[in-house]
Every structure is written in C-alpha cells, then in structure tokens.
Amino acid sequence: MAVLKVTFTKTKRDKLAQMLWILNWVSVVTGMILLSLGFFLKVEIQQRQELMSNREVYSVPNMLIAVGLIACAINFLGGKICYDCVDTTKFLRWKLLMLPYIICTFFFTFCLLAGAFMCYAMRHELEESLSIGLQDAMRFYKDTDKPGRCFLKRTVDLLQIHFQCCGNDGFRDWFHIQWISNRYLDMSRGEVADRLRSNVEGKYLTDGVPFSCCNPSSPRPCIQHQVTNNSAHYNYNYQAEELNLWPQGCRQALLEYYTHIMQSIGLTVLLIWLFELSVLTGVRYLQTSMENVLRQGDPDSESDGWLLENSFAETARYNFNIIKNLGKCYQVDDDPNIDFQSPTQPGPDNVHPKPIAFAT
Amino acid sequence: MVLMKMKFSFQKRVKLAQALWLLSWVASIGGAVTFTLGVFLKTELHRRSEVMDNAEIHAVPNTLMIVGLTSLGVNFFAGRMCQDALDASRFPRWKGLLQPYLAVAVFLALVMLVAIVMSYAMKGSLEASLEVGLRNGIRFYKDTDTPGRCYRKQTIDQLQMAFQCCGNTDFRDWFEVQWISNRYLDFNSREVKDCIKSNVDGHYLVDSVPFSCCNPSSPRPCIQHRLTNDSAHYSYEYEAEELNIYVRGCREALVSYYMGLMNSIGAGVLSIFLVQMSVLVSLRYLQTAMEAVAGQENMEMETEGYLLEKSVKATAKEFRDKALTLLQLNQEDTMSGGRNPDALS
C-alpha cells in the first residue's frame, strides 16, 4: 500500500528527468540568491554595528549564507543525478547514493524553514540590542577626543539625518544626557556654573538637541536650543510645533528598517523552501520509478513511482526496528539462511515439515 | 588610387562576415547601453533641476538617447546584411541601399563623438546655470509661505546636506542674504531693530548660516550663529575652524559631481563609438569585396576590398560636384518653369 503511487511510462520518466534537471539548476540559482541575501543583510548590520550592543544578531545572516552554500551544492549534485537518470545504465552509478541524498535534502529543507523562522524571530533581539547600543552612542556623543569613541558623534549625526529620527525614543532623550563636552563650556560663566551645580552628578544638561535632529521641511529656521522655552523664541509654541525637529525615535526608525528587510528575506526563503520541497518530491518519484524499472528488468516498460513503499505507520515501525536492532550483535537463531533442528519437534514421526523446493 | 586596399580570399570573406555579425551584436548592446546612460544622466540632472536656471545641459543626455536608439537600428541592419552578404543570390538586394546606409551610419557615429565633446564643452553653461539657480534658491530660502517658492528651503537644505556644501560660492553667501523670514523676527527687540536700521535695504542680515551647513565630522557641537564673532563662543577661533561647517560652495560641488558623471559616461560612449566604427569599416570592406564577386562565375575567387575608390580628396570633390549638380538641376528646373519655350531654340 504505497503512499501517493503514480505510474510512469518511459517517456514520462524521461520528461520528469529532464524537467528535474532544469529545476535543479534553477534551484542552484535560488541558492545563490539566498547567499547574496545573507551577504546583503550582513553588510547592512555591519554598517551600523557601532549602534548594536551584542553580536548575536549576526547569527541570522551567517545562517542564510551557510544555507545558501549548501543549497547550491545539493542542487548541483541533484542536477547531475537527474541528468544521468534518463539512461538506465548511468543510473546504476547513482543508485546507492540516491536514497541518502534524498534523506539529506529532506533534513536540509528543515534548515531552510529554520532560517525563515529566524528572520521573523530576530526582531525582539534586535530591538534590545538597538536600545542599549543607541543609549551608549548618545552617552559618548561628546567624547570626540577619546580614542575608540571619537567617531560616535559623526555616526549618530549621520544616522539621525539619514533615518530622519532624533534620540532613542524621541528628542527628549537628549535632555537627559550631557552631549556638549566640557572642553567647549566656559566654566567661568555664571550660567554654566549654576547648571552644573543644580545637577546631582554635575552634568551640563540643557533642553537643546544636536543640529542633526533638525527637520528641513520646517517652514522656519531650526530651533535646536531652548526647545521647551516658548519665551526664548518669537512666535513659538513648543506644544504646537510639529515640523521643527524629527518626531520619530531612532530605535523605532532602525527597527522598522531592519524588520522590513528581514520580512522580505523571510518571505523569499519560504518561497525557496516550497520550491526545494517540490523538486525533492520529483526526485523521489524519479528514484522509485527507476528502481522499479531495474527490478522489472525491461528499461522501456512502465513502472510505478511512490513517496513511500508502505504506509507511514509501517515505514516508521520498520525504521524503528532497524534502529532498535542496530545495537544487538548477530544471533544465529535469527538468521533465516541457516537450517537447523529446532528443539520442539512438530510431529510424532520425527519429520520436520520442510518446504519442498520446486523447479522454477 | 584606392584608399586602404586589402585582398580578400573566400575564407577571409567568410571570416569577415562572421566577425561582422558578432561585432554588430556587440554594437547593438553598446547602443542600448548608450541609451541607458543617456536616461540615467537625464534623471540625475532632473533631480536637481530646481537649482538650475536653464535646461541647456539637457542637450547632452538627449543626444545620447537619440544616438543610442538609432544605433540599435543601424546595427540590426548591419547584422542582417552580413548574413546575406555571403549568399550571392541575396546580396544584390542590398546593393542600392548600402551607400546611403553607410553615409547615415557614419553621420550617426560622428554625432556620438559630438555628444562626448559637448559634455566637456558645456561645463561653462552648466556652471552659469547653477550660479543663477543657487542664487535664487538662497534668496527665496525664507519664502516658505509664498506659493511657488515654499519648497526652496527644503530643497536647499537637502542639497547642502547631500553634497556637503554651503552657499553658492562659499558659506559667506548666507551673510549677504536675509534667510530668516520676518514672520519669525521680534520687531520689538532692540537687537533686531538695530540690525535692520544698519542695513540700507532694511534686510535682517546676520553672520549665521542654516543648520544644513553643519559638518557632522566636527568634534564640537555645530556653531551656526555669530560665526565671525570669536568672543561669542568659548574656545573658538573663526579663522582656524575648518570642520565646523562645510567650506565648499554648492556650485563647485555640483559642477564637480556632474563633470565626474559625464567623464565616466564619455569614456564609455567613446569605447562604444570605436566598436561602432569598426562595424562600419568591416561592412564597407565586405561590401566592396562582394561587389567585385558579383557577376563572376567563380564565387570563391580572391577579390579586393577598399574603403574609398579614389583618394579622400578626389572622393570629396566628386561628392561636392554631385551635390552641386543636384542643386543646379533644381535651380534650372525652377527657372525653366518660368521661362518661355523659346529658350529651347
């Protein structure tokens, strides 16, 4: 009772082999697409690595690159096998390899599925990583004289300009950190000294933001200092101003950007997974039909192809038994080829009912 | 005295036809590439068209697009012709067409060369156009409430940030223009009143620049107001500061960007031009070699191919005489139409 049995004539088998050969090459191309998507994501993450606090986010692009390479290799081999399957003599070369190949590819498709799942699941990790990374970057914004942190100002400024965002959650984040270095503060001035004294940690906090938070779409020149003070600027209402500074926080902006990329990549990986599965099904049918042809002896005859020879339950039981008996050593009583006298005699006349061999 | 005579055996003719077929395909792709480059250049020029006063520079991408499209057609015919060239029965079909076809093809190749020369020659025109366009942009920066000019501020800000430049010639252009609208100036404040009174035209001029001039690479937070006043900022020296704001002018930045683009495109189009000329030269040799074979009994004999039957001077003279006779004939026709029949006597 085979699973999904299909009968194949010789021409149908040949057509199947040719089609699978082409599809395997298409799969090699999709494997290369997967590889390039992995590289693209890796480069995109590396560009902003100063703003991400942990390295675990690299696991997704690395997985995609590995899966892409393996897919290329597997489908290249599959193409060669299918090309040879048209000719029964060449098929004999691959006969022993085909079943392990199909099993390996089947498990590989699970890897593809895992890759797609990781693309969607990475969002949470990315959010945490960005939150901490941005916080640190903003804290070290003023440290342009310390080696290792001297480029963070430029990175944050360019990020805010390019992604049209300000601060971590919003522009108010800049009010809670000192982003103007002490090197540029005139300590002799009363106002500066007052501010430093009024703060517990002795930090110079103002309600000002860097210039990169300014929105070019605003009708008036940018107000970046004394943002919350309505009387400091003519005709200015802090609550009503929407266009002066970027309203979105950079964490949200970056998260949206990366989520969008990863969702597209995840969808592509799912489509590639479906395609691989269909190619694998075709290869399985080809393998079983070719084996049946060899068993029948006539290369031009019709043969059956199936997914599984017996039902699911029987196949599972059979494989389970194999695994169970792997550990046991060879026992003579179990060997059906050896003929020996069993201790219990079936009849009174001491004749063992042996099967009589008939001439065929 | 034939120009650049070459002997062609039958095998050589066959090889020439095959090479020509391949070259014509390469030249077709080259024509498509020229068209694409023209479209790309036009798009890039169009993106910044708001800071350009006139559209004269668009002549370069337009020419490239036309030449690219026509060269596709020219090379398609060259390919068809060389396929028929070796077949003596089909070749006479093309005989009448070949002379005018070659003339048109050479003309188009020369237009390609002209386009490349234009891209270098029009630098002055581009610079003048940008000068006027940027000047107007800076002047109308504050008019965000005037219809037709309300997006100038956004355009100029985004331009300065993208090209890392400030002002027209340099940042001092912002000192000569009122870029803060009167809507945001408190006329009751003494400072504003003083500033306006001291200016002849009543403009509010300050030594400040917009935020888009700020350079993110600066180690200190951007100083955009009171730039020339050293005492207004702590530990600040106006002369020594290089990284605070962008020092380059936007006109220079844009001109160098577009010239770089046109140089690269020019190099590409030049190589395509060379391929195109080789196609035409090979076609001419094939045509003359096959014409010598026509009518002969032995199709596989050796023939001579040449570029021009007479020398360059003689051919030019012949061409000129032909053109003159054509013109004179036309003149005589028009004159004889008005004359009396007694002119025939």
CB pairs under 8 A between A and B: 68
Of the spans B17-21, B90-94, B248-252, B335-339, which averages the highest pLDDT?
A: B248-252
Residues of B in contact with A186 (CB under 8 A): 234-235
Lowest model confidence (mean pLDDT) among A76-90, B123-137, B182-196, B212-226? A76-90
Q: Which of B234, B308, B56 is nearest to A192 (CA)?
A: B234
**Is B234 within 8 Å of A185 when comparing Cβ atoms?**
yes
Average pLDDT, chain B: 88
Percent of chain A surpassing pLDDT 70: 91
Per-residue model confidence (pLDDT) at position B337: 55
Instruction: Say if residue A357's pLDDT is above 60.
Output: no
Quick check: B158 contacting A, CB < 8 Å?
yes
Helix H, strand E, coil C: the string for chain B is CCECCEEECHHHHHHHHHHHHHHHHHHHHHHHHHHHHHHHHHHHHHHCHHHCCCCHHHHHHHHHHHHHHHHHHHHHHHHHHHHHHCCCCCCHHHHHHHHHHHHHHHHHHHHHHHHHHHHHHCHHHHHHHHHHHHHHHHHCCCCCCCCCCCCHHHHHHHHHHHHCCCCCCCHHHHHHCCCCCHHHCCCCCHHHHHHHHCCCCCCCCCCCCCHHHECCCCCCCCCCCCCCCHHHCCCCCCCCCCCCECCCCHHHHHHHHHHHHHHHHHHHHHHHHHHHHHHHHHHHHHHHHHHHHCCCCCCCCCEEECCECCCHHHHHHHHHHHHHHHHHHHHHHHHHHHCCHHHHC
- Contact of B285 with B3, CB cutoff 8 Å: no
Instruction: Say if residue B301's pLDDT is above 80.
Output: no
**Is B154 within 8 Å of A212 when comparing Cβ atoms?**
no
Provide mean pLDDT across the span A39-68.
89
Average pLDDT, chain A: 86
Q: For residue B214, give the chain A residue with the closest CA.
A: A211
Q: For residue A188, give the chain B residue with the closest CA.
A: B234
Per-residue model confidence (pLDDT) at position A360: 43
Per-residue model confidence (pLDDT) at position B322: 81
Q: What are phi and psi of A303, to 5 degrees?
A: -145, 165
Percent of chain B surpassing pLDDT 70: 95
Q: A interface toward B at CB cutoff 8 Å? A: 144-145, 150, 153-154, 157-158, 161, 179-181, 183-186, 210-212, 214, 216-217, 219-222, 224, 233-235
- CB-CB: which of A158, A211, A216 is closest to B222? A211
Task: State the pLDDT confidence band at A359, using cuts at 50, 70 and 90.
Answer: very low
- CB-CB: which of B158, B224, B235 is closest to A216? B158
**Is B154 within 8 Å of A217 when comparing Cβ atoms?**
yes
Instruction: Say if residue A348's pLDDT is above 70.
Output: no
- A154 CA to chain B: closest CA distance, Å? 5
Per-residue model confidence (pLDDT) at position A110: 92
State how far the Cα of A330 lies from the Cα of A334, in Å rounded to an integer.
8
Per-residue model confidence (pLDDT) at position A299: 76
Partners of residue A308 on adjacent β-strands: A3
Provide mean pLDDT across the span A13-17.
88
Task: State the pLDDT confidence band at A351, using cuts at 50, 70 and 90.
Answer: low
Tokens of A112: 């593809």
Task: State the pLDDT confidence band at A349, using cuts at 50, 70 and 90.
Answer: low
Of the spans A44-53, A286-295, B203-212, which averages the highest pLDDT?
A: B203-212
Which residue type does B252 have? E
Higher model confidence: residue A359 or residue A109?
A109
Residues of B in contact with A221 (CB under 8 A): 179-180, 184, 210-211
Instruction: Say if residue B335's pLDDT is above 90.
Output: no
Report pTM: 0.81
Tokens of A167: 């601060």
- Contact of B50 with B136, CB cutoff 8 Å: no
Instruction: Say if residue B178's pLDDT is above 70.
Output: yes
Q: Tell me: the pLDDT tens digits for A159-214?
A: 999 999 999 999 999 999 999 999 999 888 888 999 898 888 889 999 999 999 99
Quick check: B337 contacting A, CB < 8 Å?
no
Give this complex's ipTM. Answer: 0.81
Instruction: Say if residue A90's pLDDT is above 70.
Output: yes
Lowest model confidence (mean pLDDT) among A40-49, A87-96, A277-286, A351-360? A351-360
Higher model confidence: residue B299 or residue B7?
B7
Per-residue model confidence (pLDDT) at position B296: 72
Per-residue model confidence (pLDDT) at position B51: 93
Q: Tell me: the pLDDT tens digits for B100-147?
A: 888 889 999 999 999 999 988 999 999 999 999 999 999 999 999 999
Quick check: B144 contacting A, CB < 8 Å?
yes
Beta carbons within 10 angstroms of residue A16's beta carbon: 22
HSE value, Cβ hemisphere, 13 Å, CA-based, for B296: 12
Q: Tell me: the pLDDT tens digits for A130-154?
A: 999 999 999 999 999 999 888 999 9
Q: Tell me: the pLDDT tens digits for B51-103?
A: 999 999 999 999 999 999 999 999 988 888 888 877 767 777 777 788 888 88
